[in-house]
Structure 1
């Protein structure tokens, strides 16, 4: 039974809510550590305090009088209460680890298991448990007092958040037909921009009541999203295995009834929880309802058929040229996204230090409105374009990347704060429409029994490569100069946006190849 439109809307909205909290929690460290510190007398670029001996925290053992004067100034201004980096004694290199590989290595490796879980188990339960887990680790972030505890919170957060996107995107692929998936994926990716927008507002929250309290608020929001998902969303019954049909056959007294039940492969029930298990007028061809009416145990909680092995999944991926080029394009695009997410707030904090609050508020608005609009328009245009030309799903991200780099240069080289923010709005509006179309290509070309695992491999490769940016920038950045940081941001984002644009063009050129989703149909039936 197809999923009704109201159930799809509510289900997608709740998945979006969870993903928004995911991104809010994940990037909160960027802004909680980006609260502007006071312009103390001993923090000029010419002074030894800012060059050789920077007081990282109240416990830092200063040697020079200049350092002690700087430390006293920061303490008197209450910097420990507002700024995570100063309170936890974190250097720029350590910050790069926390924002980069300290998080992403665990996130990427765990994501492989998350994809497998999405193919085998109840996806709603996986997502809800993950959200509850990262809520607790976000609270631990608020209790951290040194680099070690912060690293532990980031590792735990990464482990739990890895179980969010693969099952969510797999679920969306089952809820929406192929000609609606890019748009649905685009709406789901709103969470990136809404979450980052809320992360940006975390800077204001830290200024108002401290970074620790802000972390606890974010953790509470994540826990609430987990509860809402658990209560109001259920796993759609995707009858791709023989198990439901077999149960129906034991209940049915005729082979015809068993045949009808077994033929309902791919039928779905509404996504909302239905507490009335005996609603009149519903089809008895659904094997799950046969089980309830005859008071027999339900079939095993496998919703997408028997998942293929990891080796079989990799074989399908490498045999498909569009998918292979997609696995090149996405990591390149992530490289720039991670660089911007981790170090653009640091750049604005140094370049326009007196506009710290304005940046936090405007960036939140721009991310939420321009970024989300771009994600929606990218999916919308892709779905419309591919109705006449399947290559449209690849051309949209290719154009977005090439054109989006131009306004980003305006962000970096504008001397006026508001001109820089206007350029940032244009960059968000143009460049962020790539994710939905890219995922829709992956969803449409791969069999349902490997979607979760394939998406997790996709995120693993993209995230691992993308993490190079914050880690490398943390090493290259001197923690003081905005001109040096501007150069490195331009370099990383240029390679990312232009390189991914070329890779997406390559995807478009080979997208006419037959999709593995068709050539592996017999293998799916054999596995089930």
Structure 2
């Protein structure tokens, strides 16, 4: 599973180190690069994560991961054929759809393989693939581009006229097809086995997932709402109009229609799914949306993700602009920092979360609360230090401390629901991480960078300003995580009672 997530993030993160090359070739802005990395991927990843998460709850999870891995690998390779912003956006949509299959299914499988006592550690080790993959992606992207330029100084002489960034997409995408074949051979655990809870087998998994797809995919969402009555349809239409009005206002205010149209569609799809879930599966709806703990953690941790995605993506371009480092040097040092630092942080944070959880019911939250306090000063040093070794040291420290929340957050989400709900709860949690962290973090930092540059700042100073503003989301995370300290102990103790009261057969 870790290797799957490594491939997942190699394909996702490589665009970071390729950003300057893509900008130059396609003539696009920082905000558009942020859209390609964030929103273009994130909306489809989040929206399709809901029906694929449901499919993971009722079908063979390792088969779902295998098919998704093959699909996103093809889409990554096809990104190497893109010749304009629109085409590259479409292939990024496809990568998002494919990658949506992996994490909810993996969270569910691993929660069945291993005891709840080590759940945060296990999920943290799985999540370490984020940073290993991101580091490898940054490293490979820089090396491939420089090597390609050495081989073909005249781009017109390259095979099929491919630029270095296009070749990089082919190199990292195609090996995923072999990995997909191997994943198909893994052993599927019995659902609920780690807790001794029996779960009924769903005889029609694709029919169930299809209903979930209709509930989340516009305009089919209207049909799904209509089945729940005229009042539900009216509420759905009014919500869609309200979201459209907000998106229109944001477009008028800041431009970038692709960003706000895509995000608006994603938010409307998420609302439609939530509305439908309340009718079709009230027990799952109750365990997710009427749990104050779930509300707190699915808002607080995504605020930290805003920073880890935003600063993590713009880190390599910042080094190239502000410190004029060589592309290969930046790729090697930043790539290794992300891989090694992220692995230490995610694994160490997960281990510490489990250790504290054995002594304190809020143990996992304590680790999450420590992250903003540790990451903020490291991020500011990274942005403002002038000595190169200090910059790299601060970046490494940031890579260690900023992801320490991941295992504890995933463990908390899985702890608060019943086994049959874990993949769909994880899909909702990832949706929030994706919308707030991935869709908004890189884009808003990029847009702010464009605005500061338009005011006369250099590209390096402009990006520094955008990243510095993004770091303030760490403060916002505390607003949501601190209240969770009061509600989690009670809701953790009465989980089974809450499920029974909602109609779940336990």
* TM-score interval for Structure 1 and Structure 2 normalised by the shorter chain: 0.7 to 0.9
- Aligned partner of 1:389 in structure 2 is 360
Q: CA deviation at 1:521?
A: 5.0
- Aligned partner of 2:259 in structure 1 is none
Do the aligned residues in 2 keep the contact of 1:110 with 1:162 (CA within 8 Å)? yes
Task: Provide the C-alpha distance between the structure 1 equivalents of 2:84 and 2:202, rounded to a whole number of angstroms.
Answer: 49
- SS of the residue corresponding to residue 4 of structure 2 reads helix
- Aligned partner of 1:30 in structure 2 is 16
Q: CA deviation at 1:325?
A: 0.6
- Aligned partner of 2:484 in structure 1 is 507
Task: Provide the C-alpha distance between the structure 2 equivalents of 1:370 and 1:317, rounded to a whole number of angstroms.
Answer: 32
- Aligned partner of 2:94 in structure 1 is 156
- SS of the residue corresponding to residue 403 of structure 1 reads helix
Match of 1:222 among 176, 198, 220: 176
Q: CA deviation at 1:357?
A: 2.0
Task: Provide the C-alpha distance between the structure 1 equivalents of 2:326 and 2:313, rounded to a whole number of angstroms.
Answer: 18
- Aligned partner of 1:363 in structure 2 is 334
Pairs within 5 Å for 1:50-199: 83-199=21-137
Q: CA deviation at 1:86?
A: 2.5
Match of 1:398 among 369, 387, 390: 369
Task: Provide the C-alpha distance between the structure 1 equivalents of 2:342 and 2:477, rounded to a whole number of angstroms.
Answer: 18
- SS of the residue corresponding to residue 481 of structure 2 reads helix
Pairs within 5 Å for 1:240-389: 265-266=197-198, 300=203, 309-389=280-360
Q: CA deviation at 1:149?
A: 1.2
Q: CA deviation at 1:318?
A: 2.4
CA 320–419 in structure 1, closer or farther in 2 if over 3 Å, else same: same
- Aligned partner of 2:424 in structure 1 is 453
Task: Provide the C-alpha distance between the structure 2 equivalents of 1:354 and 1:199, rounded to a whole number of angstroms.
Answer: 18
Match of 1:212 among 162, 166, 172: 166
- Aligned partner of 2:497 in structure 1 is 519
Superposed CA deviations along residues 197-223 of structure 1, whole A, max 9, x for unmatched, are 011111122111222222111112322
2:445 counterpart of 1:473: yes
CA 385–429 in structure 1, closer or farther in 2 if over 3 Å, else same: same
Superposed CA deviations along residues 385-427 of structure 1, whole A, max 9, x for unmatched, are 1111111110001112211111111100011222101001111
TM-score (structure 1 length as normaliser): 0.73
- Aligned partner of 2:464 in structure 1 is 486
Q: CA deviation at 1:87?
A: 2.7
Superposed CA deviations along residues 468-489 of structure 1, whole A, max 9, x for unmatched, are 1222223222365211221221
Do the aligned residues in 1 keep the contact of 2:286 with 2:502 (CA within 8 Å)? no
Considering only aligned residues, what root-mean-square deviation do their CA atoms show, in Å? 2.7
Task: Provide the C-alpha distance between the structure 2 equivalents of 1:228 and 1:409, rounded to a whole number of angstroms.
Answer: 43
Task: Provide the C-alpha distance between the structure 2 equivalents of 1:481 and 1:444, rounded to a whole number of angstroms.
Answer: 45
Task: Provide the C-alpha distance between the structure 2 equivalents of 1:30 and 1:225, rounded to a whole number of angstroms.
Answer: 23
Do the aligned residues in 2 keep the contact of 1:392 with 1:508 (CA within 8 Å)? no
Task: Provide the C-alpha distance between the structure 1 equivalents of 2:102 and 2:281, rounded to a whole number of angstroms.
Answer: 20
- Number of positions where the alignment pairs a residue of Structure 1 with one of Structure 2: 412
Select between 500-509 and 170-179 the one with higher mean Cα deviation: 500-509
Task: Provide the C-alpha distance between the structure 1 equivalents of 2:487 and 2:202, rounded to a whole number of angstroms.
Answer: 41
CA 501–476 in structure 1, closer or farther in 2 if over 3 Å, else same: same
Q: CA deviation at 1:92?
A: 2.5
Task: Provide the C-alpha distance between the structure 2 equivalents of 1:264 and 1:29, rounded to a whole number of angstroms.
Answer: 43
Superposed CA deviations along residues 343-396 of structure 1, whole A, max 9, x for unmatched, are 222211101123332221011111111111111111111111111111111000
CA 510–224 in structure 1, closer or farther in 2 if over 3 Å, else same: same
Select between 143-152 and 333-342 the one with higher mean Cα deviation: 333-342
- SS of the residue corresponding to residue 331 of structure 2 reads helix
TM-score (structure 2 length as normaliser): 0.76
Do the aligned residues in 1 keep the contact of 2:449 with 2:465 (CA within 8 Å)? no
Superposed CA deviations along residues 450-469 of structure 1, whole A, max 9, x for unmatched, are 11111111111221112212
Do the aligned residues in 1 keep the contact of 2:23 with 2:29 (CA within 8 Å)? yes
CA 523–19 in structure 1, closer or farther in 2 if over 3 Å, else same: farther
Q: By percentage of residues, which structure has more helix? A: 2
Q: Which has the larger radius of gyration?
A: 1
- Aligned partner of 2:407 in structure 1 is 436
